[in-house]
Amino acid sequence: MCGQTTATVSGSVTDPSGAGVGGARVLLKNTLTGFEQSAETRADGSFQLSSIPLRTYELSVRAAGFQIHEQAITFSNAAAQVVAIRLQLLTAETSTTVSAFETLSLVTPEDTGTRAQINQKEIERLALSVGNRGLEAVVQTFPGFAQNANGSIHPRGAHTQMSFIIDGMPITDQLTGAFANAVDPNIVQNVEIFTGNIPAEYGAKIAAVINVNTKSGLGTDRKFSGSTAVSAAGYDTLGQVTQFAGKNNRFGYSGLVNTMKSNRYLDSVSLDNLHNGGNSTRGFLRLDYQASDRDIFRVNFLTGRSPFQLASLRSQHANGMNQRQELGDFSTAFNWVRTLDASSTYEMNYSVRTSTSKLLPSVGDTPVTASQERRLTTVALTHRYATVRGRHNIRGGIDLQRIPLREQFTFGITDGAFNDPSSEEYLPTLMPFDLSRGGRLFGFEERGTGSFYTGHVQDS
């Protein structure tokens, strides 16, 4: 269901004598996807760029008094690449760019499927809706995606064939609206969307796979940096986003806290917008540790909580209907990437995610009353091996998942006209649960544990 889709490049920048060049600007970019990442060399000329999606990039180095150096660099797997760059002096008679590649094509010929990418800077420029919107609002901007009235996303007309992969952790919940807490787009470094000829490593979802790489502190040059943004909008909507990140030698961290309240939390079916308030809290923390030139460890924590009202019609509001829903989730994941040799890597990812949902009834519920409590846990363990042998890019792995689930709900009719025996649409099977005629609540409670095991081998 998931795979490592980012890589790291490090190296040194020296002058013609071999001495390190400090303060040089190293830029890695891909014109097709818009991805761009830069770093400044240290005093000894060393640099490192991390969390790079697997593609071909243009690497350029600029320093005062030296000619510009440019070269192409391709990442086929997560193996860390090391480059040594020697700059040439810029004389008064020369104005030269040393280029080791031709201009990269805007078409990627090695891609055999339908996929698209969007990065952090492009997400920041999107005009996203306020309220409870998350990463799904970004996904909807791509062709082939549509959202219905209850918030569900349908890729290419499918109903349930979509999954999110967040730093290797599989999530198959509907991360929208009243279903589950959305992923905050502020934690995203890069999003890759597969909608056709989906690679074998992503498993059973055939409509769309949303592969998310989150921000890493290893990509910063400071021990601590942060920002806080406060926003306000109509319907008494208030929000704040606090982000922080930093790096200390081989250790990096990145985190976020996002809080929001609004009196138009869901897309109400009524223009009156009655009983539609809510708030949400989201938290994220990523810790990276580069133990050696061959080993990188990562730990992720992701959590969210959303209590909100369920929007009412005029008749329900007049009757005092006060239904509420509460969503919660907590996820943690551990990742280890080992570079076996210059062209081979091994990756292990272990994750646990638990999501909960509660529907709280009220005295004034009409025409029906209902309650629900659901708890879903996904425990996943994946192993991956990737190697490049000549023209062959070989990837293989196994996925093991255990999915404990517990759910209970009740249901009852409170309006005598809803299932009137004199009506042509009367259903006798609902009579025992008609509270207006002395019936009782229908009750359901069940629990179980599912298992999911897959394996794959792919050569591209």
Domains of the chain: 6-99 (2.60.40.1120), 114-459 (no CATH)
pLDDT at 130 (0 to 100): 52
As a whole number of angstroms, the distance between CA 385 and CA 285 comes to: 27
pLDDT value for 411:
95
Per-residue pLDDT in tens (0 to 9) along the chain, 460 residues: 444 567 888 889 999 998 999 999 999 988 877 788 888 898 899 888 887 888 888 999 999 989 999 999 988 777 778 899 999 988 755 555 555 554 555 555 555 567 788 888 888 777 665 555 678 888 888 888 877 766 677 787 777 668 889 998 988 777 765 677 888 888 998 888 888 778 788 766 778 888 898 998 887 778 999 999 999 988 899 999 999 999 988 899 999 999 999 998 887 767 888 999 999 999 999 999 989 888 999 999 999 999 999 989 899 999 999 999 999 999 999 999 998 887 889 999 999 999 999 999 999 999 999 999 999 999 999 999 999 888 888 889 999 999 999 999 999 999 999 999 999 999 999 999 999 999 999 999 999 999 999 999 988 7
> For the CA atoms of 287, 252, 117, 148, what is the dihedral angle to 10 degrees?
40
The pair of structure tokens assigned to 360 is 């709280």
Give the amino acid at 331: S
d(CA 195, CA 193): 7
SS3 264: coil
The gap from C-alpha 32 to its chain's centroid, in whole angstroms, comes to 21
Answer yes or no: are the C-beta atoms of 451 and 401 closer than 8 Å.
yes
What confidence score (pLDDT) does residue 129 get? 59
Q: Which amino acid, 283?
A: G
pTM of the model: 0.83
The per-residue pLDDT for 336 is 94
Tell me the CA distances in angstroms from 207 to 144, 164, 202, one per residue in order: 10, 12, 11
The conformational region for residue 367 under phi > 0 = left, psi -120 to 50 = alpha, else beta, is: alpha
| Cβ-based neighbour number of residue 5 at 10 Å | 23
**pLDDT for residue 391:** 83
pLDDT given at position 117:
82
Residue 186 corresponds to which amino acid? Answer: N
* 44 DSSP β-pair partners: none
pLDDT number for residue 308: 93
Q: Exposure of 286 by Cβ count < 10 A (0-12 exposed, 13-18 middle, 19+ buried)? A: buried
> Are 101 and 71 a contacting pair, CB within 8 Å?
yes
DSSP 126: S
> Which residues are registered as beta bridge partners of 246?
253
Peptide bond into 367 cis (omega under 30): yes
Query: What is the secondary structure of 358-369 as a DSSP string?
Result: EEE--TT--SEE
* pLDDT at position 1: 42
